Amino acid sequence: MCGIVGYIGKRSAQEVLLAGLERLEYRGYDSAGVAIHTETGLCVQKAKGRISVLQNVLGKSPLKGTIGIGHTRWATHGKPSDANAHPHTDNDCAISVVHNGIIENYMELKQQLIAQGATFSSETDTEVIAHLIASVYTGDLVAAVRNAVSHIRGAFALAVLAAQQPDQLVVVRMHSPLVIGIGHGEYVIASDIPAILPYTREVCVLEDGDVVVLSYDAMKLMDVQGSTIERAPLHIDWDVATAEKNGFEHFMLKEMHEQPNAYRETMRTRMHDGRIVLTELDAFVAVLPKIGRIHIVACGTAYHAGLIGQKLIERIAGIPVEVDVASEYRYREPIIDAHTWVIVVSQSGETADTLAALREAKRRGARVLAITNVVASSVAREADDVLLTMAGPEIAVASTKAYTTMVVVFQLLSLWLAQERKIVLRSECEDWWRALEQLPVHAQHVLQQAPKWHAIAQKISLHDHVFFIGRGLDYAVAQEGSLKLKEISYIHSEAYAAGELKHGTLALISEGVPVIALATQADVCEKMLSNIIEVQARGAYVIGIGAPQLRGIVDEYIDIPQTIDAFSSALSVIPLQFVAYYAACIRGNDVDKPRNLAKSVTVE
Ligand code: M6R
């Protein structure tokens, strides 16, 4: 997730690009840069850090010109640094490129380009694109771009300039967002609509495979083969605040809707030819045979993802796992030896308790894997190995897409461990593989049902206490659902292992008390049904999620698409997120910034 912008028109390109980058800063802020055609040629200026750092540099030595491209980076390939900042160029600075997305075959392309004489100055996948375009460029930028993208696999939105063609800007979209604002005698391109709104409300939303050539007086839309495409622009009525949320009322709502795509991004480069490929763990493979147990350590929602990880790793890879809340872990004198692998999980990578637990684990000699959403975070820097969740920046305090992508990473990791330990049957592998591939589509299907859950939230919002029950993986999901509800709706809620209720908590169930029951696990489904009947007998109003057998028994039934039981959590949690969201809205709460909470908890 990065933000790209581009401009061609009569204004100062530098001003338009910097203003656009500010509006896209939510997409990443590891570094920023611009390339502008000036009187002295195509000039690039870039700097590590937030956009304000680049603004200072350009404030002192401005780049004067009316056509340019810009980028704000969310690091994936290569740490945040000046060298890894975009725009990237070929060796002669003939081509300048900004990119949002991931080039899957960049290593292969890089080797070919090096063999042809290219030298690389960054660790990014993007630099490959600049060299590739330059290698086929013969004075026609759009022809060179079309040729180059036919060799690229992956997701990309690109904006490209050629030093020899100072009156042309070429853009391409493939699986990463890109829009073009059509003004009077000017065009603004951007990853997202807010960057365009100060200049125009007429927008052309690009589709996969679109290539566009922009000059000072014309815009030409075509496909990768060069055939012209006609598409009427859209008129955008949103104000800027709404546009930043992509038309959604809250960041949380936007982020819940981003989950199918986030699942795709998390899996994209990690599933090849029937195998899970975690190149990030290449160095760890030699250590794996020594690992006898795993400790998973995290806080809050990330801890709940860890609970899912525990069950998946034990069930699929057969390694014993303990899960701890980070603030407890370091003080319980954990037994760590050379056979212990410690996995810390943190969206922000900055949570003080998790970081302290990581340091404690390392002090005691453990090898540490970080599962995080932020590549250059403290946790990522201090861990031995890192698996990124690829959710993109999460703004709402209540974690949604970061949690579900952590779950997807644990699904991938458990299969990878089983694969490396050679303990899975080929037939089982195929089922798991298919289930993983279908997850984004299934998640989309779940999201389409969301409006139906408003009525459930309406009923729940009238209560002071809500209970969540489940068994096994469903109990872990119940804990996350309960946290989501309490943190944004301020309704008191508790999650219980369904079988445990009768050992005390059942006393709290009385007429009309809402109980949300998850039943996605076939092996304990009958037992769950008994637990549901037990609470109904005490008057509970039961919302059931999962097994079709619940239909007709519970008061409200939420269906989720059929998948293998082990992977159902990435789907069953989505209705719980929505119930919490709607309940918070109905109660008039500040959904994105709930009281007393912060997105990143950097104190112990
Ligand atoms: O950034 P982290 O994942 O380390 O944050 C841990 C918790 O503070 C976090 O998951 C918190 O529980 C969520 N914001 C709740 O939605």
The partner residues of 519 in beta bridges, in order of sequence, read: 546
288 CA from centroid of ligand 1 (Å): 29
Q: What is the pLDDT of residue 603?
A: 61
- Sign of the dihedral defined by the CA atoms of residues 265, 269, 274, 276, in that order: negative
Cis amide linkage into residue 451, ω under 30° from 0: no
- Sign of the dihedral defined by the CA atoms of residues 420, 422, 426, 427, in that order: negative
pLDDT (average), residues 462-482: 97
Report which protein residue has its CA nearest ligand 1's atom 12.
300
Contact 461, 450 (CB under 8 A): no
> At residue 425, does pLDDT exceed 70?
no
Q: What is the pLDDT of residue 420?
A: 93
- Ligand 1 in contact with 573 (CB < 6 A)? no
Report which protein residue has its CA nearest ligand 1's atom 16.
398
Q: What is the pLDDT of residue 77?
A: 78
User: Of the candidates 79, 57, 167, which has an alpha carbon nearest to the alpha carbon of residue 124?
Assistant: 79
> At residue 268, does pLDDT exceed 90?
no
349 CA from centroid of ligand 1 (Å): 10
> What ranges in 421-524 are assigned the alpha helix state H?
426-448, 454-460, 473-489
User: To test ligand 1's pocket by mutation, which of 255, 299, 593 has the most ligand atoms within 8 angstroms of CB?
Assistant: 299
Task: List domains and CATH numbers for the chain.
Answer: 3-242 (3.60.20.10), 245-437 (3.40.50.10490), 445-604 (3.40.50.10490)
403 CA from centroid of ligand 1 (Å): 9
What tokens were used for 514? 């809402």
Report pLDDT digits (tens) over 386-412. 999 989 878 899 999 999 999 999 999
63 CA from centroid of ligand 1 (Å): 41
pLDDT (average), residues 470-486: 98
> At residue 74, does pLDDT exceed 90?
no
Question: What percentage of the chain carries pLDDT values higher than 70?
Answer: 98
Q: What is the pLDDT of residue 151?
A: 96
- Ligand 1 in contact with 351 (CB < 6 A)? yes
Q: What is the pLDDT of residue 374?
A: 79
- Ligand 1 in contact with 122 (CB < 6 A)? no
- Ligand 1 in contact with 472 (CB < 6 A)? no
Residue 427 — pLDDT band, cuts 50, 70, 90?
A: low
Contact 429, 274 (CB under 8 A): yes
- Ligand 1 in contact with 161 (CB < 6 A)? no
405 CA from centroid of ligand 1 (Å): 13
How far, in Å, are 185, 239, 244 from residue 199 at the CA level?
11, 13, 15
Helices (runs of H) and strands (runs of E) counted in the chain: 18, 26
Contact 392, 366 (CB under 8 A): no
CA distance 595 to 604: 19
pLDDT (average), residues 254-280: 92
The DSSP secondary-structure symbol of 252 reads: H
CA distance 408 to 116: 39
Task: Work out whether strand 340-346 and strand 293-298 pair parallel, antiparallel, or are unpaired.
Answer: parallel
- Ligand 1 in contact with 487 (CB < 6 A)? yes
More reliable by pLDDT, 471 or 502: 471
What tokens were used for 443? 């998640």
User: Of the candidates 26, 3, 20, 49, which has an alpha carbon nearest to the alpha carbon of residue 396?
Assistant: 26
**What average pLDDT does the chain have?**
93
Report pLDDT digits (tens) over 352-378. 899 999 999 999 999 999 999 877 678
CA distance 33 to 58: 10
Q: What is the pLDDT of residue 486?
A: 97
Report pLDDT digits (tens) over 540-595. 999 999 999 999 999 999 999 999 999 999 999 999 999 999 999 999 999 998 88
Contact 352, 604 (CB under 8 A): yes
For the CA of 400, the nearest atom of ligand 1: 16
Question: What percentage of the chain carries pLDDT values higher than 90?
Answer: 81
CA distance 178 to 593: 29
The DSSP secondary-structure symbol of 233 reads: P
163 CA from centroid of ligand 1 (Å): 46
- Ligand 1 in contact with 323 (CB < 6 A)? no
Residues 6+ apart with CB under 8 A from 383: 344, 358, 368, 369, 370
In terms of average pLDDT, the best of 19-28, 211-220, 238-247 is 211-220
Contact 478, 524 (CB under 8 A): no
330 CA from centroid of ligand 1 (Å): 18
Q: What is the pLDDT of residue 234?
A: 86
For the CA of 379, the nearest atom of ligand 1: 4
User: Which region, left, alpha or beta, applies to residue 101 given φ > 0 means left and ψ of -120 to 50 means alpha?
Assistant: left
> At residue 415, does pLDDT exceed 80?
yes
- Ligand 1 in contact with 302 (CB < 6 A)? yes
> At residue 429, does pLDDT exceed 80?
no
Lowest mean pLDDT of 68-77, 288-297, 342-351, 364-373, name the range. Answer: 68-77
Kindly report the backbone phi and psi dihedral angles of residue 96, in degrees, each rounded to the nearest multiple of 5, phi listed first: -130, 135
- Ligand 1 in contact with 354 (CB < 6 A)? yes
CA distance 116 to 584: 58
Q: How many residues does the chain have?
A: 604
Q: What is the pLDDT of residue 604?
A: 60
> At residue 483, does pLDDT exceed 70?
yes
Residue 29 — pLDDT band, cuts 50, 70, 90?
A: confident
Cα 453–255–174 angle (5° rounding)?
120
For the CA of 354, the nearest atom of ligand 1: 4
Q: Which amino acid is at 533?
A: I
Residues 6+ apart with CB under 8 A from 1: 27, 28, 74, 100, 392, 393
> At residue 273, does pLDDT exceed 90?
no
The DSSP secondary-structure symbol of 249 reads: S
- Sign of the dihedral defined by the CA atoms of residues 318, 300, 346, 476, in that order: positive
Q: What is the pLDDT of residue 384?
A: 97
- Sign of the dihedral defined by the CA atoms of residues 364, 367, 372, 377, in that order: positive
User: To test ligand 1's pocket by mutation, which of 350, 399, 410, 581 has the most ligand atoms within 8 angstroms of CB?
Assistant: 399
Cα 569–565–348 angle (5° rounding)?
25
| CA torsion angle 223 179 22 187 (round to 10) | 80
249 CA from centroid of ligand 1 (Å): 22
User: To test ligand 1's pocket by mutation, which of 251, 296, 301 has the most ligand atoms within 8 angstroms of CB?
Assistant: 301
The DSSP secondary-structure symbol of 64 reads: P
- Cβ neighbours around 168 below 10 Å, total: 19
Known catalytic residues are: 2, 599
